[in-house]
Structure formats: C-alpha cells, structure tokens
Structure 1
Amino acid sequence: MRVYLPCTIPALARAAETGEVGPAPLTGFAVTPSLTEWYASGDTEELEYVALTEAARASLRMLAADRADGVVAPGRRVVIAADVPDDIVVAGAALEERARVRLREAVPMAKVAAVHVDDRFAARDIEEAVVALPAADQGDDDAKFTVDGAEAHELLWYATQEIPDILEDVRHD
C-alpha cells in the first residue's frame, strides 16, 4: 500500500541517518476504503493526491509542533511516500479523517518511493501559516485564509537518491 507520511526537514534528516522513518506507531495518509467510498468519482491518482494533500497539512502541524518544542526547522512541508505491506497499516475510523492511517512499524528507507517538499519560494507562506494555525483552529477566517495560502503551493517531487541534495539545499537557505 502506498502511504504518505507527514514529515519535517529535521525528521527527514533523522530518517536518512537512521535508515528508517519512525518510531512506530506512525500517522500516515493513504487511499483507504473510506476515502474511496467518499470520493466515489475519483480515480486512483486523484485519491492519492487527496492523501498527499492531507499529509502536507499534517506536515504543517508537525512543523508548528517542532517550533513549539524549540526545534530549528526550515519552513517547508515534507511528505514521504512509501510502499508498505498492508498488514502494518490500520485505517482510521473517524469520518472526517477518511485518509488517515496508523502504521504499526517503522518504515525502512528502502520502502520510500519518493519525497515531496516545498520549494524555497513557498517558505514565506509556510512560515505565516505556522503562525496562523492556532487562530485558524479557533475558526478565525483570516487565519484560515493564510493556512489555505500555504496549502496552495504544490509540493515538488524528489527521488530518494536526491534526499542528501534536499538536506544540503535547505542548509543554504
């Protein structure tokens, strides 16, 4: 099963260093039966895009959490796409989280198919969205608009062998 794992640049660096995305349990997003039923007219590619988008939103929240914990993290969303065995994936039960899954095991980097990362031009909007998240969660329409502005940026696709280049590129921002 293809899963999309929300991440941050520091977490991607740890995964590259340790050889796995973890520790388990991990929250991810995938084309679940609930998502397929809800999005009845979509093909697999469209459903995977929905799961990727949900993971990107979760990455934004992870970035905010890192910052709250004092972690220095560049303003870029990161999503790791991995192909994992179905038996380690448990679909979420909540209707509002149709694409959410839990992974029972860490994911070896050998199972990673690609990495999706914001380009440097998105950084300002990502930074503003991180600041606006608490107000957006409280229903502030202006803050929601700011968060939506960050989500309007498309993530770039990178092959796994490009991960060192991503990490090096971000160090020079």
Structure 2
Amino acid sequence: MRVYLPATIGILRQLVADGEFRPLSGTGFALTPALRESYVSGSTEELEYAALLDAARASLRLIATAQEGEGEDKALPRRVVISADVENATLRPDLDHAVVRLSGPVALSDVAAVHVDAPEAEPAVLAAAEVIDAADLGDPDAEFTLGDVEDHELAWYAPQELPFLLELM
C-alpha cells in the first residue's frame, strides 16, 4: 500500500542517516476505502493526492512542535511528505478517512518519493504552523492562512536525491 507520511527536514535527515525512520505514533495517510467513499468522484491519482495533502497538513503540526524547541527543523520550516510502499498499514477510519497506522519503521528502500516545500514557501509554512489548531477548530481566518500554504506545490524528489537535497539546505 502506498502511504504518505508527514515529516520534517529533521526526520528526513534521520531517514538518510539511519536508513529508516518511525512515523510519529505510526500515523500515515493513504487512499483507503473510506477515503474513496467520501468523494463523489475522482481518479485514483486525485484521491492519492488528497491523502498526500492530509499528510502535508499533518507535517505542519510537526513543524509547529519543532518551532517550540531548538534544532535544525526550526531553521527550515518546510512541509515534508514521505511516500512509501509498505505492507504493515492498518486502516483507521475511526480517526479520519485517510488515516492508517504503521506497526514498525519505514526503511529508506521502501520510499518511493519525497515531497518538500521550496524555500519560497517558508513564510507561509510558518504562518500556517502557528494557526493549524485554530483551523481545525473552524476558525475561518486560520483556514485562509492554511489555504495560502496549500497554494505552494510540494517539489518531488527521488530517494537517491535526498543526500544532495539535504546537503544544499
């Protein structure tokens, strides 16, 4: 199953250094039967993109937490989504239509692609990370701020490009 895992630049560095990483709480997003049923229409590609966007929004929560502490993530506020093909995903429609849980770490060899914000998105990412909780609670101004960051497309990188990408950051 293709899963979309929210991450940060720090998590990406860990993945490259260790050859694997464990998603926070094992949480990922995927094209699940519940997600497919929640849309009136849409191709598989469009619905997978919806799951990827859910993971990108979850990445904002990780960035918000990183902004409270110290470290490399604070210097590079960019949404990161790791796309991987895994066998150990369990459906969790009780949490949301696209949510899945992974029972173990994800190996670099299972990664199909990585999606990362460009530097131009950083101000919008910081603003969105500050209001992500308010948006979840229905604040229209916060939703507008999230819309600004979601206007930025995530760049696509092959797994073998990750060391070079991280070196340039």
Q: Could you tell me the TM-score, scaled by structure 1's length? A: 0.89
- Displacement, 1:25? 4.8
Shift of 1:128: 1.3
Q: Distance in 2 between matches of 1:164 and 1:72?
A: 16
Between the aligned partners of 2:90 and 2:133, the Cα distance in structure 1 is: 29
Q: Distance in 2 between matches of 1:8 and 1:137?
A: 20
CA displacement at 1:93 relative to structure 2:
2.4
User: What residue in structure 1 maps to residue 86 of structure 2?
Assistant: 84
Is residue 2:124 matched to residue 1:125?
Answer: yes
For 1:92 and 1:116, the matched residues in 2 are separated by 23
Q: Distance in 1 between matches of 2:50 and 2:139?
A: 24
Which residue identity lines up with residue 83 of structure 2 in the other structure? A
Q: 1:138 offset after TM fit, Å?
A: 4.3
RMSD over aligned Cα, in angstroms?
1.7
Partners of 1:98 and 1:68 in 2: CA distance: 29
Q: Mind listing any 5+ residue stretches in structure 2 that lack a counterpart?
A: none
- Matched position secondary structure for 1:75: coil
Aligned ranges for residues 44-83 of structure 1 at < 5 Å? Answer: 44-73=44-73, 74-83=76-85
Measured in 2, the distance between the counterparts of 1:39 and 1:125 equals: 28
Q: Secondary structure at the match of 1:80?
A: strand
- The Cα of 1:167 is off from its aligned counterpart by 1.0
Identity of aligned residues (%): 49
Aligned to 1:29: 29
Q: SS of the residue aligned with 1:105?
A: coil
Please, which moves more after superposition, 65-74 or 152-161? Answer: 65-74
Unaligned runs of 5+ in 1: none
What letter matches 1:9 in structure 2? I
Provide the TM-score with structure 2 as the length reference: 0.91
TM-aligned CA deviation for residue 58 of structure 1: 0.4
User: Which letter maps to 1:84?
Assistant: V
CA contact (8 A) 1:24 1:103 kept: no
Map 1:149-164 onto structure 2 (within 5 A). Answer: 149-164=148-163
Alignment of 1:90-101 (within 5 A): 90-94=90-94, 97-101=96-100
Partner SS, residue 42 of structure 2: coil
Tell me the residue number matched to 1:143. 142
Deviates more, 1:103-112 or 1:136-145: 136-145
Aligned length: 167
Matched, 1:110 2:109: yes
1:156: how far off?
0.7
- Note the C-alpha offset of 1:147: 1.7
